[in-house]
Amino acid sequence: MNNRRVVVTGMGVLSPIGADLNTFYDSLIWGRCGIKKIEDLVELQFGCQVGGRVELEKSPCYPYLETFLLSEASNVVKYAVVAGLEAWNNAQLPICETLDNEPDYDTGIITGSAIGTIDMYENKILPSIQNKTIRRLRSTTIEHSMLSAASANLANILGLANYIGFNSSACSTGAESIILGFEHIRQGLATRMLVGGVDIYTAAGWAGFDAMRVTTRMYNNQPLQASRPMSASASGFVPAEGCGMLVLEEYETAIRRGAPIYAEIVGGSLNSGGQRKGGTMTAPSAEGVIRCINAAIQESYVDVNEIDLIAGHLSSTMADVLEVQNWSTALHRKGKDFPYINSLKSLTGHCIGATGAIETIAAVLQLKEQFIHASIHCEDLHPDIEKIIADEKIPHQTKKNIPLHYIAKSSFGFGDTNAVLILKNIDYEYQREK
């Protein structure tokens, strides 16, 4: 096993709180919530009629969709391409619009999605079958809808020629893609990986969650109040769409080309509780989560007391209490000794398969800029959480100029899937040496 160091050198994001990295960062600083009432959901009589939508046209990379002939593609492809190219630009890597650059054998891509390209089925494929007009389906139907479509199209644009893949593990998908890319570089199989997660709004994609009653129905007329992670009045998650993409790079390579270095990924763990011992298809096993946290910590060689912030999964459901308890058990820290903890979902809603990637980008920004974004709407902290941690460890407002050395990022998904990442402030080791 080749233990090469892996750093984040570029990020791109399309989210309910910003269609580009700068706007997203501003929203984090200001604690801006992007959840709105969605009229389509009212019309369709959804129980939950609020959600987080993105403004694709506002992405700085939106014009590339026309350049690369992707105007008819699934939104999964469009979101991943604009966020992926923003990340690529952000990493100061070139985009050859004529596609005649050399294949890049050292760079691969993994994009994930929990729900996938079902807009193509809803809008194009099923109507053509029903109308018996399959002959008029465009030749791009498959390349715009296959599960690897986002990866394949980004690879096409950039000439990526290392591993080109797709991953899916429900709501841990985005964090999983990062960990898979991280491991691929660590093992010496690639020097650079473009990774991330994407999920899009469609009525069909969200209907099943609505039917399960796992989304909130209490705040249809107060969308800004709807996502309340860690609150006593949390009543289900708020569905959202989005995409987060990151350029991961082998440390020496990044240094050699003078790349911007945002943070180091020092550990990542993927596991499951086996859907036993309290774990089910839809609920995490505490034992599985704790094992996942411990494995990530162990790989990172970090002391549990060095974790300054937990960027939680915390989706505004009853599972928030269990998550806080699991962190407390795994880190042996509680009360005022507990790290800071926040939930991006209080601002964005739950971006399903994109959530782990978007939240990792938020974590990297916090680590780089040394602030902690607000975790809003939990002034009425859940009493069971209050028993575990001190209220002051939850930033109800943005906390600036907070020294952050390590952030732990978690994502959990249906199927009892767990993902935990440990991110390190790249300047920390130099500070420690001084």
Partner 1 sequence: MNTNVKNEVIDLLKKYAINKKIFDHLPENPNIVNDLKINSARLVDIVIDVEEKFNIEIENEELKKLIYLNDIITLIEHKVKH
Question: What span, in angstroms and rounded, lies between the C-alpha atoms of 244 and 361?
Answer: 7
Tell me whether residue 9 or residue 153 sits nearer to partner 1 (CB atom): 153
132 is a contact residue toward partner 1 (CB under 8 A): no
Q: The tokens of 61 are what? A: 């990379």
- Taking the complex as a whole, the smallest distance from the CB of residue 97 to partner 1 amounts, in Å, to 8
Q: Do residues 79 and 54 make contact, with C-beta atoms less than 8 angstroms apart? A: yes
Comparing CB distances to partner 1, the nearer of 32 and 124 is 124
Q: How far is the CB of 138 from partner 1 (least distance, A)?
A: 5
97 is an interface residue for partner 1 by CB under 8 A:
yes
CB of 262 to partner 1, least distance (A): 31
For residue 45, the minimal CB distance to partner 1 (Å) is 37
Restricted to residues 217-276, the positions that interact with partner 1 (CB under 8 A) are: none
Asked if residue 139 binds partner 1 (CB under 8 A), the reply is yes
Residues binding partner 1: what is the number (CB under 8 A)? 12
Q: Which of 5, 60, 121, 140 binds partner 1 (CB under 8 A)?
A: 140
Question: Does 100 sit near partner 1 (CB under 8 A)?
Answer: yes
Interface characters, 58-87, with partner 1 (x: CB under 8 A) = ---------xxx------------------
Give the nearer residue to partner 1 in terms of CB position, either 88 or 201: 88
CB of 20 to partner 1, least distance (A): 24
Residues that bind partner 1 (CB under 8 A): 67-69, 97-100, 136, 138-140, 143
